[in-house]
Amino acid sequence: MNIAFAPNARRPDPAIEVLDDAFLPLRLFAAGVEQIATGLAWAEGPVWFGDGRYLLVSDIPNNRILRWDETTGAVSDFRRPSNNANGHVRDRQGRLVSCEHLTRRITRTEYDGRITVLADRWQGKRLNSPNDITCAADGSLWFSDPSFGIASDFEGERAEAELPHGVYRIDGATGELSLQLDDLQGPNGLAFSPDGRTLYVIESRARPHRLIWAYDADGPRLSNKRLLIDAGGPGAFDGMAVDVQGNLWCGFGGDGSKAADPAQLDGVRVYSPEGRPLAHIHLPERCANLCFGGAKGNRLFMASTHSVYALYVNTRGAVA
């Protein structure tokens, strides 16, 4: 589905709603929301490759990964079929690491294009459908594993879950897989604070509200679980990205209830490191996931249902 979109000529762009004056230094007065791609069935997992000046984004139901070229604006297939790939990250060596629904595994794309399987089972049982992934400063890979991709034949292949929903860690040196969390309903987006000492995890099936939890992180050890953000009311989180100041930029939308108003909820909600709402970037579609990129790391790319949107901001994405 192609979504018609006309960028707003007014500045500041009224799509960028400031909820707290602390956001004003992060807003570029002359920048507005742009649509850079459309026609996807469900856009997810954006990841930036600055060395090639392109963005990769998953189109999960269409079983493909798309490539948007910054120099030309062209959109092409990067990988098809993609095994219904969802989230992506680059490891410390710059290689693409992907969550695959269909094969229920984590894979790494080597420099020569070969695919290496990093994880597909825990204690002899198949993973559910790896969803989102991030890379820690020590090179370890952390990923969420809800059952969304095996719940139907739309984003993968229907199957029975063999494991509870979990968050896992792949050791950067040994490749050893460890289960870190198994007490969240629908663990989804995850990210580290700029100093790498805090892990944020979205619980996207929590009741009555969707939540973001924070944990103290010390290598493979997590402690001091605490509630950082409650979406409140009908709001719901998906993926997120963190900037160099530690602010959380969260994919946002409705929780499916009758009270959810897409016109008010769809987009990106920005929070301070303390969990205070700073801004809402209104989009015509629900935002699933996002990343920072561009030549200076100050361009926010937002994978949003059928389209990908971009916005220049006055901050940069964090590298833990």
Binding residues for substrate: 131
Give the Cα separation of 183 and 166 in Å (integer). 7
Structure tokens at 120: 């597909």
Burial class (CB in 10 A: 0-12, 13-18, 19+), 242: buried
Give the Cα separation of 84 and 62 in Å (integer). 7
Options 59, 132, 145, 238, the catalytic residue:
238
Is residue 13 among the annotated active site residues? Answer: no
Binding-site residues sit at: 44, 131, 188, 238
Q: Pick left, alpha or beta for residue 13 (phi over 0 → left; psi -120 to 50 → alpha; otherwise beta).
A: beta
Q: In the 8-state DSSP scheme, what is residue 247?
A: -
Binding-site residues for a divalent metal cation sit at: 44, 188, 238
280-316 burial code (b ≥16 CB/10 A, e <16): bbbbbbbbbbbbbbbeebbbbbbbbbbbbbbbbbebb
CB 141 within 8 A of CB 173: no
Residues assigned a catalytic role: 238
